[in-house]
Amino acid sequence: MNGVEWGGGVAIVDDERSIVQIYREILEAMSIPIAFVAFDGEDAINKFKESKKKPQVVLMDYRMPVMNGIQASISMLRIDPSVKIIFISADGSVRDEAMKAGAATFIQKPASLKDIVIEVVNVAKMPPHFTS
């Protein structure tokens, strides 16, 4: 689908439940499988570890309770360096920090669903070693 072989699918990590719900709906509408949903960084790492098939792409928020998105991204990339992380945050000032932590790309909220989906597909197509 979308020219991408969705094996592990997309993980959604955001503490805003309504946003998570929207992402889920649009991705499912695009037939992109959801690997898991987490509402904080620590929850995301645990679910990432537990996943038998690691998600190909993670939609990662920055500001979350317990553990922020940067720390969670670093841990995930340590576990599986091939995972592509799309940082999507309302705080544009963390763009550089996110990219340094290994994010494939950065989207600033509010962003249109169309842009988000395009980025998800584009990132999924990137070779495993690619980071922008």
Name the minimum Å distance from CB 25 to another protein. Answer: 7
CB nearer to another protein: give 47 or 63. Answer: 63
Taking the C-alpha atoms of residue 46 and residue 51, their distance in angstroms, rounded to an integer, is 9
Name the minimum Å distance from CB 66 to another protein. Answer: 17
CB nearer to another protein: give 67 or 113. Answer: 113
User: Strands, DSSP E only, in 3-127?
Assistant: 10-13, 34-38, 57-60, 84-89, 105-108
Name the minimum Å distance from CB 5 to another protein. Answer: 26
- What SS3 class is residue 59? strand
Question: Dmax of the chain from CA atoms?
Answer: 36
User: Strands, DSSP E only, in the chain?
Assistant: 10-13, 34-38, 57-60, 84-89, 105-108
Pick left, alpha or beta for residue 3 (phi over 0 → left; psi -120 to 50 → alpha; otherwise beta). Answer: left
CB nearer to another protein: give 71 or 108. Answer: 108
Name the minimum Å distance from CB 97 to another protein. Answer: 13
CB nearer to another protein: give 112 or 129. Answer: 112
Question: Which residues contact another protein (rule: CB under 8 A)?
Answer: 16, 18-19, 22-23, 25-26, 63, 90-93, 108-115
